[in-house]
A and B are shown apart, each in its own frame.
Chain A
Amino acid sequence: MKVWDWYPVFLREMLLFKRRLFKLGYLLSAMMIPIIYLVVFGLGLGRNVQFSSQDYLSFLIPGLVAMSSMTNSYNWIANSVNLGRLYFKTFQVLLQAPISLVHLILGEVFSGMVKGLFAALLIILAGLLTAPNFFITLPLVIALILNCFLFASLGFTVGMLSKGHEETATYFNFFILPMAFFCGTFFPIEKIPTFLKPVVYLLPLTHTNILIRKEFFDLEALIAILVLLIYSVFCFLWGITLIKNYSE
C-alpha cells in the first residue's frame, strides 16, 4: 500500500484543520482579506465600473478565487511546516517516519490544496450569489487545482527554507502579496504599464488569472496551463531537494 503513504501526513493536517476551523478567529482571519476586497472593490467601487464585455464583479470574482486559493494554500502549509519544524518539532516526527520523502511532501501539499480549495469555494459561492456573469467553467476548475498545487508546493518549500516565522511572513510580503495586486486579480493585465508586463508575465498568478477567466481552451489558456505546470514541478522538486538534504 505504498501508494497511500502520504495519507497519514494528510490526515494529520486535516484533523488539525478541522479543529482550527471551529475556532471562529481562525476561519475569519483566513477569509477576511478576500471578503474585504469583495465588499470594497466589488460591491462598493465596482458598481460604477463596467468593462466592455462584462460587469466588474463578474471580472473580480475569479481573480479573488485565484488570490484566495493562492494565499490559503501557501500560508497554511508554509506556517505549518515552519512552525512544526522550528518551534513545535512535530515535523521531525514525520521526518523520522519510514515513508518516502515524496509521500511526506505529497501529504502536506494535498492538505494545503484542500485548504486553498475550501477558501476558494467560499468565494465561488459568494460569486454565484452576487455576480450576474460568473460561472464555474472547466478552465476555472483546472486553474484552481493547479494554483493550489503550485502554491502549496511553494509554501512547503518556503516553510523548509525559512529560519523563523518572521522570515515566512517576509517571503509572503515580497512575493505573494505583490502578485495578488499586479497579476490580474483586480484589473486586466493589459492595463499594466508596458515596462512592467514582462515581469508580470513571469509570475505564476498571472497565468492562473488568465486561465481562470477563460470560457474555453485557446492557445493562451494552454500556455497558461504549461507555465503553471512548470512552476508546480519546479516548486515540488525544490521541496524534495530541501527535504532530502535536511539536517538540523
Chain B
Amino acid sequence: MKNFYMIEVKNLVKTYGGKRVVDGISFWVKKGEVFGLIGPNGAGKTTIIKILTTLVKPDEGEVFINGSNLFKEPQEIKKIIGVVPQENNLDRDLTVYENLLIYGMLHKVRDLKRKIEEVLNLVELWDRRNSLTSTLSGGMQRRLVIARAFLPDPPILFLDEPTVGLDPQIRKFIWELIRRSKAKGKTIILTTHYIEEAENLCERVGIIHKGKLMAIGTPLELKEGLGRFVVEHINGDGKLIQWIFKTEEEAYKLVQEKRIPVSIRRVNLEDVFINLTGKRIE
C-alpha cells in the first residue's frame, strides 16, 4: 500500500503564531497525475508545497513520496522532485546559462551541456543564454525557473502558482509545457487561484480554505455535485443573485417564471468554492 501512490499526505498540520495555516490536510496523488490545490491567497497552498519540498517542517503528519518518508529520507526525495516556487528565485547576477549550470551540477545532471540546450530551447530562451538574468522580463524569468525545474528530468514536479501575474500568451505557453510533462508521465502538483488553470490542467483538484481541505475530486465530480447550470441576475441594489440547477430545462423554467434579465452559464469550480466557503477565490 505504501508504494501505491506517488505522493501520500496524511493529517498534515502546521501552525504559525498559534494559527493553524495547514489544518489536518490529507490527500494522495497517483503516478502521472496532475493534481491541483486551489484556493485564495493565504489559504495554505504554498505552505503545503513548502512542506512537501522540504523547506517547512510540519507540526504533525506524515508524507510519503515515491515510498520514501519525507521527514526521514529527505535526500532521497530531493533527487526526484523539481520545484517551481511562487517567486522567481534566480541568481540575478548570473547569466541564464550559469543559473542552469549551477542547478544541473547540484542535481548531478549527466550530459549537462546538452540538457541545458534542450531545456532552453523548450522554453525558447536559448538565444538569451548569455544574458544576465536580471535583464530578462518577468515572463522570461518564469520560463527560466520552469526550465530549471525540468533540467534534471524529475518524475515529480511541484508548481506553486506557475502562471501568476503573467500575460495570457505566456500563461498558455506554460500550460502547454505542463501538458507535455503530463504526457511524459510526470506526476505534478500545482497550486493556483486561477479556476481556468485548474479546470484546464488538473485531473483532480483539492479545494483549500483557511488551511482545510474542503473538497477533493475531479473538476467534473466537484461541479456536478453542485449542479450544472447557473442562472444569474443582478438586482436593483447591484447584488448578484444565483440559482443552480441540475438540468438546463430547470434553469430555463426559472427564467420563464421570473421574467427578469438573467444570464445562464455552466457551473465552474469557482461556484463550487463559493458554495463551500461563502467567498470568492480571488
Interface membership of A190, Cβ < 8 A = no
Interface membership of B90, Cβ < 8 A = yes
Interface membership of B233, Cβ < 8 A = no
Contact B94 A93 (CB under 8 A): no
Interface-side segment among A7-15, A128-136, A151-159: A7-15
- Asked if A247 meets B56 with Cβ closer than 8 Å, knowing A19-B94, A97-B107, the reply is yes
- Asked if A248 meets B94 with Cβ closer than 8 Å, knowing A8-B106, A98-B107, the reply is no
Interface membership of B194, Cβ < 8 A = no
Report how far A7 CA is from B91 CA in the complex, Å: 17
User: Looking at chain B's contact residues, is the secondary structure mostly helix, strand, loop, or mixed?
Assistant: loop
Of all chain B residues, the one with the shortest Cβ separation from A7 is B105
Contact A95 B54 (CB under 8 A): yes
Q: Chain B 221-238 against A: per-residue CB contact (8 Å), 1 yes, 0 no?
A: 000000000000000000
Which residues of B lie under 8 Å from residue A100 when comparing CB positions? 75
Report how far A196 CA is from B55 CA in the complex, Å: 44
Distance (whole angstroms) from the CB of A153 to the closest CB of chain B: 21
Interface membership of B189, Cβ < 8 A = no
Which residues of B lie under 8 Å from residue A16 when comparing CB positions? 91, 93-94
Interface membership of B85, Cβ < 8 A = yes
Q: Chain B: interface residue count, which band?
A: 20 to 34
Which residues of A lie under 8 Å from residue B56 when comparing CB positions? 247-248
Which residues of B lie under 8 Å from residue A90 when comparing CB positions? 89-91
Which residues of A lie under 8 Å from residue B103 when comparing CB positions? 93, 97
> Which residues of A1-26 are within 8 A (CB) of B?
7-9, 11-12, 15-16, 19-20
Most chain B CB within a 10 A radius of its CB, from A11, A96, A98 = A96
Distance (whole angstroms) from the CB of A18 to the closest CB of chain B: 10
Of all chain B residues, the one with the shortest Cβ separation from A16 is B93
Give the contacting residue for A89; candidates B81, B85, B102; CB below 8 A: B85
Q: Chain A: interface residue count, which band?
A: 20 to 34
Report how far A98 CA is from B81 CA in the complex, Å: 10
Contact A89 B87 (CB under 8 A): yes
Interface membership of A88, Cβ < 8 A = yes
Interface membership of A173, Cβ < 8 A = no
Report how far A89 CA is from B105 CA in the complex, Å: 19
Interface membership of A169, Cβ < 8 A = no
Report how far A11 CA is from B75 CA in the complex, Å: 21
> Which residues of B71-109 are within 8 A (CB) of A?
75, 78-79, 81, 83, 85, 87, 89-94, 98, 102-103, 105-108
Contact A97 B78 (CB under 8 A): yes
Of all chain A residues, the one with the shortest Cβ separation from B82 is A96
Contact B75 A98 (CB under 8 A): yes
Contact B55 A96 (CB under 8 A): yes
Which residues of A lie under 8 Å from residue B92 when comparing CB positions? 88
> Which residues of B13-33 are within 8 A (CB) of A?
none
Contact B98 A247 (CB under 8 A): no
Of all chain B residues, the one with the shortest Cβ separation from A89 is B89
Which residues of A lie under 8 Å from residue B55 when comparing CB positions? 92, 95-96, 246-248
Which residues of A lie under 8 Å from residue B83 when comparing CB positions? 96
- Asked if A94 meets B85 with Cβ closer than 8 Å, knowing A15-B94, A19-B94, the reply is no
Report how far A98 CA is from B50 CA in the complex, Å: 16
> Which residues of A75-110 are within 8 A (CB) of B?
88-90, 92-100
Residues of chain A at the chain B interface (Cβ within 8 Å): 7-9, 11-12, 15-16, 19-20, 88-90, 92-100, 245-248
A-B contact pairs, 5 of them (CB 8 A): A8-B106, A15-B94, A88-B89, A97-B106, A97-B107
Residues of chain B at the chain A interface (Cβ within 8 Å): 50, 53-57, 75, 78-79, 81, 83, 85, 87, 89-94, 98, 102-103, 105-108
- Known A-B contacts: A9-B106, A96-B54, A248-B56. Give 14 more (CB < 8 A): A15-B98, A16-B91, A90-B91, A92-B89, A93-B89, A93-B103, A93-B106, A96-B81, A97-B78, A97-B103, A98-B106, A245-B57, A246-B55, A247-B57
